[in-house]
Amino acid sequence: MMNERASGILCHISSLPSPYGIGDLGPEAYRFVDFLAKSKQKYWQVLPLNPTEDALGNSPYSSFSAFAWNTLLISPDILYEEGFLERKVLETIRSGECSDIDYSQAQRVKTGLLKSAWSRYSSRSVKLKGFEQFCVEQAYWLDDFALFVVLKNYFNNQCWAEWPVEFRDRDPKSLKEFSSSHADDILREKFFQFLFYRQWMRLQEYCSQNGVGIIGDIPIYVNYDGVDVWVNPGLFKLDKDKRPTFVAGVPPDYFSEDGQRWGNPLFNWDRLRDTGFAWWVERVRHNLLFFDYIRIDHFRAFAQCWEIPVDEKTAKKGAWKDVPGIELFQTLKEKIPQLPIIAEDLGIITQDVDDLKEKFGFPGMAVVLFAFHNDYKKSRNFPDNCKPLSVVYTGTHDNNTVRGWYDKDITKEEEKNMLEYLGKMPDSDSINWVMIEMAFKSMANLAIIPLQDVLGLGAEARMNKPSTARGNWKWRFQSGILSRSRVEKLKRLAQACGRAIF
């Protein structure tokens, strides 16, 4: 597992260029694969692809389903190619490229297009093979997901816990009657997921043909107001009224003096153990249909989780609680012998987390932006200290860009340590390549660079600022910016550092 030196680029699908308000699985995604192949980058890492919600800031880490896909990322251009749209409709909705993602426009445009596509399919104006087979093969999550979406719409987007008790508690007779009377709406939701599935599988095949692997990302937790908790309330720490008793987060750290109170319900690990961890086995297996590797966010919560009483407003008064991570991953290894997981082990990591990661051979992470804190020569993020079985990043979706950090956030201590290490301070225009070179030259077998750092962009291109609810997840790049000079520079660096493996 990950035993050869390679490199790749982190760029979410939503950040690709597009005239439809948000990046998608269309032509620009294929151009990005071409860019990766030409620059000798082996991997494309994306953020979670699950549905997002405007009410939750459009965070890909906050979804109402751990299994479904974000239909905002469906390509109108491919829908046109397949006969679902007329050329004049496509031209009408084109808005030209904008600097940031416009979620409102994307939601408005995609909702109309998807309904039109369904109308043409259901009226047999367009033939599309494989939908029935998809519904059968994906029924383990698709049936409940489609029903949940239709119920949410029927009850004016109320939280499922506020639904009439027969629907809240999933009374079989009531669900059967509702499903029968809303069969067309439920089938439509399944069709939307099928459209994403088709487009993703087509892109995945193109990646494979060009020697590019895909690294996916899954959050450890799920949203309370989501299909996973509605279907499996016993797998979460809920009271008799199915309300959370404790919620997830992390204690005070580098990002926040109050810690982070995420609000997700915590898992009932005793109940999960009783089921043979079936939900987790299904979730991991499901994601490995779509990705070559999966990065699991907040891996440390498989050793201990930060348990916050639900009535606490901040994360300060939480407590660490043991989690049966060893039992979980032993079960996963039995079911899925090749378990290509990357452990997000950033922050304050205790020995039990390292032991868990190393027991199962999961590569951990290092971030060069964290390398020059304190006694930097002993830091696990210092590139010279990276182990071969690890993934080194210049930064992640939660960090400022390298240039943004250098221009605005670097501390006096970090300046001193960097000067000591480099001998002289780089200028702002070159700092991104200095840090990329550090990552590429490290012993870590895999180096992943956010596209913003390849482009040398500043704080305006930051993807997310933890503990802030709005203004995040909007960045995307403009078509044509992936120039030949950047391709050549990345390729030369990959070759020089022994990472150009194809």
β-pair partners for 7? 447
Provide φ and ψ at 216, rounded to 5°: -90, 180
102 in active site: no
Closest by Cα among 384, 338, 393 to 364? 393
The Cα angle at residue 81 between residues 80 and 82, in degrees rounded to 5: 90
3-state secondary structure of 199: helix
Q: 479: how many CB neighbours lie within 10 A of its CB?
A: 13
Catalytic residue among 24, 144, 228, 344: 344
Catalytic residue among 282, 307, 398, 437: 398
297 in active site: yes
Q: Which two tokens stand for residue 474?
A: 């909007």
86 in active site: no
**Residue for token digits 């404790």?**
246
Q: For residue 427, give the DSSP letter.
A: P
Alpha carbon distance 256, 399 (integer Å): 13
Q: Which two tokens stand for residue 331?
A: 């079960």
Catalytic residue among 297, 345, 414, 453: 297
Spatial strand order in the sheet of 304-309: 260-265, 246-250, 304-309, 319-322
Q: How far is CA 41 from CA 3, 127, 142, 463, 484, in A?
A: 16, 37, 34, 22, 14
Catalytic residue list:
297, 344, 398
